Structure 1
Amino acid sequence: MTKTHRSKAAFTVAVASGLVLGGVAAPAALAAPSADAVIAEVYGGGGNSGATLTSDFVELANRGAAAASLAGFSVQYLPGSASPSSAWQVTPLAGSVAPGGRYLVAESKGSGGTVALPTPDATGAIALSATAGTIALVSGTTALTCKTAADCAADSRIKDLVGFGTATVREGNPTAAPSNTTSVARGTALADTDDNAADFTVGEPTPTNTAGESTGGDPGPAPTPAKIHDIQGTTRISPFKDKKVGDVTGVVTATRTFGSQRGFWLTDPNPDSDPRTSEGLFVFTGSTSPAVAVGDAVTATGTVREFYPDAPATSNFQSLTELTGAQWTVGSQGNALPAPTVLNPDTVPTTYAPSPGGNIEPLALEPSKYALDFWEAHESEIVSISDARVVGPTNSFNELYVTSKPDQHKSARGGSVYLGYDQLNSGVMKVSSLIPFAERPFPKLNVGDVLTGTTSGPVEYDDFGGYTLFASVLGTEKDNGLAQETTRKQRTGELAVATYNVENLSPVDTQAKFDRLADAIVTHLATPDIVNLEEIQDNNGPANDTVVAADQTLQRFTDAIVAKGGPRYEWREIDPVDDADGGQPGGNIRVAFLFNPARVSFVDRPGGTPTTAVGVVREHGKAHLTVSPGRVDPANEAWTASRKPLAGEFVFKGRTVFVIANHFNSKGGDQPTHGRFQPPARSSEVQRAKQATVLRGFVDALLAADRNANIVVAGDLNDYPFSPAVQTLTAGGALKDLIASVPEAERYSYVFEGQSQVLDHILASRALRGVDYDVVHINAEFADQASDHDPQVIRFRPGAGNPIEDGFNDFLDWLDQVFGKK
């Protein structure tokens, strides 16, 4: 069973609704309250990301006057959303619990956390959910069978029961939802009203055994007095990590009152003189809204934690220093807020990060030298930016990216172009919102739009996109009218070849998506003669079964193109081996060709299968494929769990053209550019380098058979023009990467974390004449996308390999360009 952690998906749902996820009406039947042994505390976040404790636990208590025997009893667990197939899991108990005493049951241990439970009184292996489930104290060790609150209330074996989070089975209403760092615990009076919501509250875990030994919430030694700048320190890791601190003073500058990561930000109005130490701190209150207001002067006590989104020992991300299990007092209200750090073009350093060749966490911060250090030195402080230009469109998580350096590698359409591993745009930062969406929906903005006026709020590290400004003040959206591009129609003597990643297209998609993609082919790409498609899924999309055929997907797509006024395209592709080519499990994505038979012919040579390698033969001085379509060396280990290139032989006006469609392996597994390891390891490059070597070998075989072969290599190579893989393909000039030849301000087809970059390519052999190339920007810069990639198109006259004939073709091309003659 996979343990639940603080997930972005859960956070986003809570934000979008502006509500605490909770229960509904109480069941009609209630069990009798227990007179002695009861469930006192439940914690399911052990070993999860951000957790301190390594294990889940259930704690029992005795509210009676005599010892309560637990011999023959068990603790049992049911998932929060119980289905007919859900089963109760059982941990047998032994011994007894003294009057007023505690009894600790240890459950599943995770890979994270640093603090073990005290010696448990019973041990099981149940992996509890961190956020929703049901725990029952049961007389007997036979698994329960009830699946509803009413049925469980009627089961006399159940001595006590608690449903937490959104649990279906509960007493009365379920408790509030705990998290990876919080538990649900019964009050000190151990009241049992048979309403879990009334009896339990969310707070810091306090596991205690029968010997009275405790960890987590154990008061331990007196907290050490500390200022916020002392807690933040001069590196990325607090010198007070996992220690209790007290007398932490500051003014509340912002609050987060929705979602599962609630809390508030404090800033000390009396800073020290060290620019490396932040004066801001996030106080994490879990799923409970903090009872403070902006402007409150607060004195707090709590435990300093470094929150990672995953296991700290193996995380590639940076951490957020936060105060957990906090208690505080409000001294005064309505205080003036400390002045924010104003971001202008010169505020953030141009150099992105130090490059020690490893973990940057132990390094002393240099905020005047490195952008990542600058942000860390201002962690949880308020920053503000005026008239911020959008460089990454609003995404499905209600986030967008802006830049504080509007002239840094500015694209032709308002973005920030990524031009090299050492040229990350340091002015780019993510913007999210602290304003409930019911009060103000998050703006839907495109690249080049502007948040006018002031946008301000605390900044902190977010593993889903680096340092993020959580806006408590959000500028006014200004639409700068970014328009989708349209390329020109090919001339009669030109062959037009396009490439387009259609993002997991399958029949389960809406007709609206098919129609938008079809409109792109007909209107924006002007009906190319050949279209390389990437991410065509099988006929039932993500259903993970034995279906691999994609004829229904392609039929529906080509029908949609006709409905938009386009030609009746034919298609060629090879169904892959089931689940062998990576991508969405069950989707069986592959590359495919569409072609317009009224303009270009496809040379069909039978024999192409998922495992058959296409070869090259020379006939009458010309190269030909042994099978068409055919896959390039599909058994080569370079293509393990990745798409295999598809080669096709076409004829246009009597001349042979080879088109090779590609979709190299993804960048999954690479360390993030904003993570704690610098420079980040790009482990996925190893496989793409192998893939490029295999593909280049095939191109070389074509050129060896005919040095004047017309070759177009196109597709989503998942890499940059300056990457080793693309450099392998273009070495020696056999192929030209066309996107590398356009002005830098136009060199992108994809936008990721606010960086406009290249993943898609068209490469051309020398034989192609009159080459005209265009990236058609219709998706990547827009909040409303049919795909996350922009398509590209090349128009050219195939070379004949004869200087006289080629010269005549060049003359015809000149006539076309100058006079528009055909």
Structure 2
Amino acid sequence: MASRSATRLAALTVAAVCSAASTLVLTAPAHADTDPAGPVRIHDIQGSTRLSPYAGRQVADVAGIVIGVRGYGGSKGFWIQDPRPDADPATSEGVFVFTDAVPEVAVGDAVTVSGTVSEYVPGGTSSGNQSITEITRPTVAVVSGGNPVPAATTVSARSVPRAYAPEGDGTANGSVDGLRLRPGAYALDHYESLEGMNVRVSDARVVGASDPYTELWVTVKPRENSNRRGGTVYGSYDDQNTGRLQIQSLGTPADFPAADVGDTLSGTTAGPLDYSQYGGYTLVANEIGAPESGGTRRESTRPQSARELAVATYNVENLDPSDDTFAAHADAIVHHLKSPDIVSLEEIQDNNGATDDGTVAADATVGRLIDAIVAAGGPRYDWRGIDPVDKADGGEPGGNIRQAFLFNPERVSFTDRAGGDATTATGVRRVRGGAALTLSPGRVDPANPAWEDSRKPLAGEFVFRGRTVFVIANHFNSKGGDQGLAGRYQPPSRSSETQRHAQAEVVNTFAKEILSAQGDADVVALGDINDFEFSRTARILEDGGALWSAVKSLPRSERYSYVYQGNSQVLDQILVSPSVRHGGHPSYDSVHVNAEFHDQISDHDPQVLRFRP
């Protein structure tokens, strides 16, 4: 849960107005010049924009029925809803009352609440998240108990508009805060018009698996950009998936369903509609549908033929010797990836993981994985890598993540050219009519500012059936710092991509240097690119035809390696030079073994490319 010390918008305190606890008749605030006639009700407080017209002011005896109670985490309080709605679809009839302690109310209580109206921003104003209208510092009077809870409003494919969000207000950041809500026109406006109210979804398909924080994602639009495994594919900045909704629970964590993508929450899932720091609009369920399996199973690719070279990329998510996932990773590599000839591993940590004591070597980490692969019935891989400078490559502090190559020496050989280290750049030279790396393994332009606090590419030269193959392992800058899809700024800013664009230019330039020395060179650039196949990052990598993202050989509905906030999307890519694309008979597979499952061992699905050099 978000800390309540985070910044609040318009949290000015006005003189208190006393509560008349014995009646449901409301007392209007003292500001008669701007207040509507009659008592203040919840829809008056919520208003017709995202910001309350009463923000920073006190209100008295606001009446409602308790529809949900949250007595845990840093956001303790309860939701109330007015059972007598107004006629304006833009104004919500529910509001959250922040108590900062376990509330002494129960669902079905009729209450009056006096306090200060506040706009709370989960994650703080710098996060770009939308705010939640709340009543804070409350005085609460229970008038009666056991009242019927206002009927839940159904959120469905019919009710949620196809358009995602309005354009911002024309300011530098493009805020939607002050725009009048149009719940019949935009999905985000529709959800905002229900903020704090009792809502329900029925037979909702899971599009984001249960996570360790007892959250999952469903869609109310099962046909929206769907794939054959039950997910919702993110394929364009201009075509947002509007049916996605995060589900949390007001029950105990042990009762939260362990659901995978493609499962269904059968029946009704209902509760107050909240807004989360980590995902936007969230149904906080006091009733949750029964999980029904969708039959989603972990995939296995086919084995490579004798003439095919199989090259894979696999982000093993901060793997270090203390982890208990080595056997599971080995199983994935041997039985689901069918023991590729070359595996680019991302997020290999040093020998003592996150312990920050200057250790940078990772031989124990990689060695334990190799042993686990042998134990699983796979080949005894050899490996190559370069230790980074301590704390220079980002990632978990002390972990010193880096890329490493595994390769099967029974199928492929590695061409070693000594001298590569964390700060020395490998280059390209022409030797007997072909290209060769000056250092192998070597890092690509590691001093370039594009790699500041980020992983440097690892290049290596391999030989398969007498043919040289150049492999460049990458782990680009993460998306941290980008504005959320459901944030207050529309369209959201993607500030993190600036560094990825620079990184893509470096890798593209290096691939062009190889191709300049040997026009028909087989080049494979792969890894966790942290960006989509339709992004500008991918276009820069592909510039001039030097590389091509092979995931685009798959149908659009099958292009994904990662699931984030219910969007199945591409982050991991394998890009190839023209000789591989046009002459190598490439076969690409995104092998879904992790991202769709609640018991994932990594948040990324590995990718494998088979071709004939």
State the TM-score, normalizing by the size of structure 1. 0.70
Deviation for aligned residue 1:733: 2.6
Deviation for aligned residue 1:51: 5.7
Quote the Cα distance in structure 1 between the aligned partners of 2:428 and 2:74: 59
Asked whether 1:49 is paired with 2:23, we answer no
Quote the Cα distance in structure 2 between the aligned partners of 1:559 and 1:537: 17
Deviation for aligned residue 1:296: 2.0
Asked whether 1:280 is paired with 2:94, we answer yes
Q: Residue 208 of structure 2 is aligned with which of 392, 396, 419?
A: 392
Quote the Cα distance in structure 2 between the aligned partners of 1:219 and 1:454: 40
Provide the residue aligned with 2:104 in structure 1.
Answer: 291
Q: What amino acid does structure 2 have at the position aligned with 1:544?
A: D
8 Å contact from structure 1 (residues 501, 789) kept in 2 = yes
Asked whether 1:401 is paired with 2:217, we answer yes
Q: What amino acid does structure 1 have at the position aligned with 2:122?
A: P
1:270-419 → structure 2 map (5 Å cutoff): 270-288=84-102, 290-312=103-125, 314-356=126-168, 358-419=174-235
1:183-198 → structure 2 map (5 Å cutoff): none
Asked whether 1:448 is paired with 2:262, we answer yes
1:58-77 → structure 2 map (5 Å cutoff): none
Asked whether 1:702 is paired with 2:514, we answer yes
Deviation for aligned residue 1:495: 0.6
Quote the Cα distance in structure 1 between the aligned partners of 2:475 and 2:14: 49
Asked whether 1:464 is paired with 2:278, we answer yes
Q: Residue 577 of structure 1 is aligned with which of 377, 385, 389?
A: 389
1:470-619 → structure 2 map (5 Å cutoff): 470-510=284-324, 513-619=325-431
Quote the Cα distance in structure 2 between the aligned partners of 1:609 and 1:485: 37
Instruction: Evaluate the alpha carbon distance shift between residue 245 and residue 114 of structure 1 in structure 2; reply closer, same or farther with a 3 A threshold.
Output: closer
Q: What amino acid does structure 2 have at the position aligned with 1:338?
A: P
Quote the Cα distance in structure 2 between the aligned partners of 1:720 and 1:311: 28
8 Å contact from structure 1 (residues 499, 793) kept in 2 = yes
Q: What amino acid does structure 1 have at the position aligned with 2:273?
A: V
SS at match of 1:345: coil
1:124-135 → structure 2 map (5 Å cutoff): none
8 Å contact from structure 2 (residues 128, 484) kept in 1 = yes
8 Å contact from structure 2 (residues 80, 96) kept in 1 = yes
Provide the residue aligned with 1:736 in structure 2.
Answer: 548
Report which stretch shifted further, 600-609 or 356-365. 356-365
Q: What amino acid does structure 2 have at the position aligned with 1:489?
A: P
Offset from partner CA, 1:631-658 (integer Å, 9 cap, x none): 1000000111110111100000101000
SS at match of 2:609: strand
Deviation for aligned residue 1:247: 2.6
Asked whether 1:624 is paired with 2:436, we answer yes
Quote the Cα distance in structure 2 between the aligned partners of 1:657 and 1:475: 52
Offset from partner CA, 1:742-800 (integer Å, 9 cap, x none): 111111000001100000000111212111110100000000011000001111110xx
Provide the residue aligned with 2:608 in structure 1.
Answer: 793
Asked whether 1:429 is paired with 2:245, we answer yes
Deviation for aligned residue 1:50: 4.6
Quote the Cα distance in structure 2 between the aligned partners of 1:605 and 1:50: 54
SS at match of 2:586: strand
Quote the Cα distance in structure 1 between the aligned partners of 2:122 and 2:609: 43
**Percent pairwise identity:** 56
Quote the Cα distance in structure 2 between the aligned partners of 1:286 and 1:740: 50
SS at match of 2:579: coil
Quote the Cα distance in structure 1 between the aligned partners of 2:472 and 2:443: 9
Provide the residue aligned with 1:637 in structure 2.
Answer: 449
Quote the Cα distance in structure 1 between the aligned partners of 2:519 and 2:182: 55
Deviation for aligned residue 1:524: 0.3
Quote the Cα distance in structure 1 between the aligned partners of 2:306 and 2:92: 65
8 Å contact from structure 2 (residues 560, 569) kept in 1 = yes
Asked whether 1:233 is paired with 2:233, we answer no
Quote the Cα distance in structure 2 between the aligned partners of 1:269 and 1:50: 31
SS at match of 1:678: coil
* Greater relative contact order (Cα < 8 A, sep 6+): 2
Offset from partner CA, 1:554-595 (integer Å, 9 cap, x none): 111101111111111000000011111111111110001000
Deviation for aligned residue 1:223: 6.4
Structure 1 spans left out of the alignment, 5+ residues: 1-5, 9-44, 53-112, 116-214, 799-822
Quote the Cα distance in structure 2 between the aligned partners of 1:507 and 1:340: 49
Quote the Cα distance in structure 1 between the aligned partners of 2:8 and 2:204: 36
Provide the residue aligned with 2:458 in structure 1.
Answer: 646
SS at match of 1:410: coil
Asked whether 1:243 is paired with 2:57, we answer yes
Quote the Cα distance in structure 2 between the aligned partners of 1:491 and 1:730: 28
Quote the Cα distance in structure 1 between the aligned partners of 2:132 and 2:304: 54
SS at match of 1:545: coil
Quote the Cα distance in structure 1 between the aligned partners of 2:74 and 2:540: 47
Quote the Cα distance in structure 2 between the aligned partners of 1:392 and 1:781: 7
Quote the Cα distance in structure 2 between the aligned partners of 1:460 and 1:423: 24
Quote the Cα distance in structure 2 between the aligned partners of 1:220 and 1:448: 52
Quote the Cα distance in structure 1 between the aligned partners of 2:107 and 2:265: 23
Instruction: Evaluate the alpha carbon distance shift between residue 333 and residue 220 of structure 1 in structure 2; reply closer, same or farther with a 3 A threshold.
Output: closer
Structure 2 spans left out of the alignment, 5+ residues: 20-26, 30-38
8 Å contact from structure 1 (residues 223, 301) kept in 2 = no
Deviation for aligned residue 1:736: 1.6
1:669-818 → structure 2 map (5 Å cutoff): 669-768=481-580, 769-798=584-613
8 Å contact from structure 1 (residues 302, 326) kept in 2 = yes
Q: What amino acid does structure 2 have at the position aligned with 1:725?
A: T
Quote the Cα distance in structure 1 between the aligned partners of 2:252 and 2:600: 25
Quote the Cα distance in structure 1 between the aligned partners of 2:17 and 2:83: 29
Q: What amino acid does structure 1 have at the position aligned with 2:239?
A: Q
State the TM-score, normalizing by the size of structure 2. 0.94
Instruction: Evaluate the alpha carbon distance shift between residue 315 and residue 522 of structure 1 in structure 2; reply closer, same or farther with a 3 A threshold.
Output: closer
Deviation for aligned residue 1:327: 1.8
Q: What amino acid does structure 2 have at the position aligned with 1:425?
A: N
Deviation for aligned residue 1:292: 2.1
8 Å contact from structure 2 (residues 428, 436) kept in 1 = yes
Provide the residue aligned with 2:36 in structure 1.
Answer: none
Deviation for aligned residue 1:446: 0.2
SS at match of 1:358: coil
Offset from partner CA, 1:471-502 (integer Å, 9 cap, x none): 11111111122110001111111111000000
8 Å contact from structure 1 (residues 223, 244) kept in 2 = no
8 Å contact from structure 1 (residues 449, 480) kept in 2 = yes
Provide the residue aligned with 1:263 in structure 2.
Answer: 77
Deviation for aligned residue 1:241: 0.5
Q: Number of aligned pairs?
A: 590
1:68-217 → structure 2 map (5 Å cutoff): none
User: What CA RMSD, in Å, does the superposition of the two structures yield over aligned residues?
Assistant: 1.7
